[in-house]
Structure 1
């Protein structure tokens, strides 16, 4: 019997994954990762996992990954905002923590596969978009190592999120008794606002100057860490009659630059390569593909080439149509139709 290690969060989705995998003939064992210090969350979800494990008759283990998570994800998150960047902690956590730990455990235990509840698929040896495009999480998985992909299973990749819970509760009525943690957020260590996290480490409320795109002083803001590219509220622009958007953040002098919507437009995006194979550029060729510049953005057609700058591989995407609100720190993810080619972090 094929053995699979399932990353379990304690929610309905991952619990239902355990059942689906069992139905497909896999011997399932669960893995819960303690990655943050919010013990109330861990208590809720571990109680759910224990409940699920008893009903399905599966073993599970708990691994404390908080030390690695703090270095690779939490510190990166905090330091990115201090540098005026907009980090993508989930895109960093998946390759550096979650899947890395899961495959280490699977290899030690002799387990064949690793499964998660992500809304994504595996097609032709690549991560691919999930059927439910409103919940597709392939963007966050662009950094996974190629050698892992043949051993990954996404049981929910062909499911529609909205339809899933009623079906799951019909097949497994006890799933309805699972508790859900109040104020659940996409980022596991952020309770309400990312600023609550930053305030523990920095003074986020240091008033600064707002500049226009010509460098003229036009107003004031509350502190540069409170802004991300594209934000249009929370700062003052003297005599403004039309909306203004943040187009640049300057941490060195605590200023932000604002402009009209067209100031956010660009046809070129540069990113530090993280996972795009060099084989695409063996002869210095460029590739035609589609790119996403953030999770909720639409894919845009682009021609991408790779250059060496200061010993680093830089991806340069030239887009057919302008995109708006490109933020340094976010991920540039390349797609061939619905399949992920790789990507990097925008600079």
Structure 2
């Protein structure tokens, strides 16, 4: 339970369905006042529900598995996905272990996703679906997880919360931060650890210098602003990042087009063949694209049946069979 509306309603739905419920609040980072405020909400809701609320400090594990990975990835010119790392290692890793240690049979969260104990599926509310963020969790946890909001629409969740006076403080609250430890921009986080404003050269795909940039960590693949290209009349986009040279590679939109990618560190939550057809999402909030996947060891080659644009190294490619999540890997 985060103190937000989704996890609170999920807890209520489970209790009303006859489950014996206990809440767990995870402290994941050290933002001043953040946890005190949120855990106070959790304790208030838990007391009204008549359930126990645990305060679980996983900040040390989170720093190692998520925060440090986030900072290191940008330093290497990669585009990380900290939420996927958190779900894999923290929420359905360390928190799952904690739940087992206190005798819980099942773990539930407020994710908008469906699970039948064997497989994970997209939520009914496609605008809120979070299955992409579960692409690398351990399939061994599937028989023991529940997602009460998988068949709900967000607006209905908000309306449902209005039935309970003790949820009035959060029923109209703003959506939670996309990345919980980023208050404003990711650059503010990175600037605590390194100089993000080391200007450098922008080059074209042949390596020719064509302009300047204000520091390579300001950019991700597909970005089209914040750098200068000499004499450019057409929009230019970031095609790649070369941290070892402090360079960004820029070009026109058609140069972002990709038909083949490779992924590593593959994790599957479904049985698959060495070669198979599926749909692939190369980032959250994009539609999936049909492709052929060929696996060799812990790497895979993905050949798309239509072009995709703006593929960033370090992001996760999530693989689907219609609405069923198959797994995913890190784009290289």
Query: How does the TM-score come out when normalised to structure 1?
Result: 0.92
Residues 168/120 of structure 1: CA separation in 2 closer, same or farther (3 Å cut): same
Residue of structure 2 in register with 1:241 after alignment: 233
Residue of structure 2 in register with 1:322 after alignment: 307
Q: Secondary structure at the match of 1:135?
A: coil
Aligned match of 1:298 in 274, 284, 287?
287
Superposed, which structure 2 residues align to 1:266-285 within 5 Å? Answer: 266-276=258-268, 280-281=272-273, 285=274
8 Å contact kept, 1:41–1:181:
no
Residues 125/182 of structure 1: CA separation in 2 closer, same or farther (3 Å cut): closer
C-alpha deviation, 1:279, in angstroms: 5.5
The CA distance in 2 between the partners of 1:333 and 1:142, in whole Å, is 6
Q: Secondary structure at the match of 2:72?
A: helix
C-alpha deviation, 1:162, in angstroms: 2.3
Matched, 1:219 2:194: no
Matched, 1:254 2:246: yes
Residues 205/165 of structure 1: CA separation in 2 closer, same or farther (3 Å cut): same
Report Cα offsets for 1:229-273 as digits up to 9, x if no partner: 000000001111111000010000101011111111101111113
Residue of structure 2 in register with 1:162 after alignment: 155
Residues 66/124 of structure 1: CA separation in 2 closer, same or farther (3 Å cut): closer
Q: Secondary structure at the match of 1:39?
A: coil
C-alpha deviation, 1:193, in angstroms: 0.2
The CA distance in 2 between the partners of 1:148 and 1:67, in whole Å, is 23
8 Å contact kept, 1:44–1:179:
no
Aligned match of 1:125 in 113, 118, 123?
118
Residues 167/180 of structure 1: CA separation in 2 closer, same or farther (3 Å cut): closer
The CA distance in 2 between the partners of 1:178 and 1:279, in whole Å, is 40
Residue of structure 2 in register with 1:232 after alignment: 224
The CA distance in 2 between the partners of 1:115 and 1:305, in whole Å, is 34
The CA distance in 2 between the partners of 1:121 and 1:79, in whole Å, is 32
Report Cα offsets for 1:164-203 as digits up to 9, x if no partner: 202221x213211239888952101101000000001111
C-alpha deviation, 1:67, in angstroms: 0.7
The CA distance in 2 between the partners of 1:340 and 1:235, in whole Å, is 37
Report Cα offsets for 1:85-136 as digits up to 9, x if no partner: 0000000010101111222122222211000000000147111111110110
Residue of structure 2 in register with 1:333 after alignment: 318
Residues 123/262 of structure 1: CA separation in 2 closer, same or farther (3 Å cut): farther
The CA distance in 2 between the partners of 1:122 and 1:297, in whole Å, is 22
The CA distance in 1 between the partners of 2:62 and 2:29, in whole Å, is 8
Residue of structure 1 in register with 2:32 after alignment: 39
Shifted more, 182-191 versus 319-328: the winner is: 182-191
Aligned match of 1:153 in 130, 146, 155?
146
Q: Secondary structure at the match of 1:256?
A: strand
8 Å contact kept, 2:84–2:134:
yes
Alignment length (residue pairs): 332
Q: Secondary structure at the match of 1:70?
A: helix
Q: Secondary structure at the match of 2:326?
A: strand
Residue of structure 2 in register with 1:104 after alignment: 97
Residues 70/163 of structure 1: CA separation in 2 closer, same or farther (3 Å cut): same
Q: Secondary structure at the match of 1:150?
A: helix
8 Å contact kept, 2:275–2:293:
yes
Gaps spanning 5+ residues in structure 2: where?
none
Residues 124/304 of structure 1: CA separation in 2 closer, same or farther (3 Å cut): farther
The CA distance in 1 between the partners of 2:210 and 2:326, in whole Å, is 43
Aligned match of 1:203 in 195, 200, 208?
195
What is the RMSD of the two structures over their aligned residues, measured on CA atoms? 1.7
